[in-house]
């Protein structure tokens, strides 16, 4: 994560007390970013904006659909630099406008179980001196999935995406 966009950046093993957390099964990104919370939220809920930041470059998002409400479905397709497509879908479990979005790939539209569940994410935003406190917790069913996600580059990838979101939030 670049220090240009983050005023305080920490890839931590702890989460704020109001977010469920098990350090053996969860990954946490907690920081204060120099961007307005309303614009950060807009980046999370507008499909046109999600396409611009949700994959770490040089990867890209080619398709996005989101029903940004509790119980709403979401889907996106991530494309590798080599052109391979990776479709993803899930469900929004909780949406508190401007503050919190909880999503999972464990369930899909209509609360149908997914074929390949991997994790649930809790993303919170609150006002902080100089910007927005941004916390993302990736919750896994077991230590093996948590390790897989960490080995995939969770902190680097989610950190890069956060930098991209901050840059976008500061120009919209």
Tokens of 90: 């899930």
Q: How far apart are CA 116 and CA 90, in angstroms?
A: 11
> Nearest Cα to 16, choosing from 128, 92, 118?
128
Kindly state whether residue 34 falls inside one of the protein's structural domains: yes
pLDDT band for 19, please (50, 70, 90 cuts): low
Sign of CA dihedral 51, 163, 160, 133: negative
β-pairing, 107-108 vs 85-96, is: unpaired
Task: Give me the percent of the chain exceeding a pLDDT of 90.
Answer: 84
**H-state helical runs in the chain:** 37-45, 47-53, 143-151, 154-169
What's the pLDDT tens digit per position in 65-97? Answer: 999 999 999 999 999 999 999 999 999 999 999
Q: Look up the CATH number of the domain holding residue 86.
A: 3.30.530.20
Instruction: Let me know: does 124 contact 16? Beta carbons within 8 Å.
Output: yes
Which residues form the domain of 34? 6-169
- Provide the pLDDT for residue 139: 95
Residue 24, pLDDT above cutoff 70:
yes
* Structural domain total, the chain: 1
Kindly state whether residue 123 falls inside one of the protein's structural domains: yes
pLDDT band for 16, please (50, 70, 90 cuts): low
């Amino acid at each position: 994560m670049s220090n240009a966009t983050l005023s305080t950046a920490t890839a931590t093993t702890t989460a704020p007390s109001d977010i469920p957390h098990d350090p053996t099964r969860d990954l946490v990104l907690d920081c204060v970013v120099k961007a307005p919370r309303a614009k950060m939220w807009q980046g999370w809920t507008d499909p046109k904006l999600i396409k611009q930041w949700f994959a770490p470059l040089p990867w890209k998002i080619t398709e996005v659909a989101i029903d940004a409400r509790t119980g709403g479905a979401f889907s996106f397709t991530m494309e590798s630099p080599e052109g391979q497509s990776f479709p993803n879908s899930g469900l929004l479990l909780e949406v508190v406008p401007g503050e919190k979005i909880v999503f999972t790939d464990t369930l899909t539209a209509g609360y149908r179980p997914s074929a390949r569940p991997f994790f649930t994410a809790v993303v919170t935003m609150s006002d902080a001196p100089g910007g927005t406190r941004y916390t993302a917790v990736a919750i896994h069913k077991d230590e093996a999935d948590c390790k897989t996600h960490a080995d995939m580059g969770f902190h680097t990838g989610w950190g890069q995406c956060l930098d991209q979101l901050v840059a976008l939030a500061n120009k919209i």
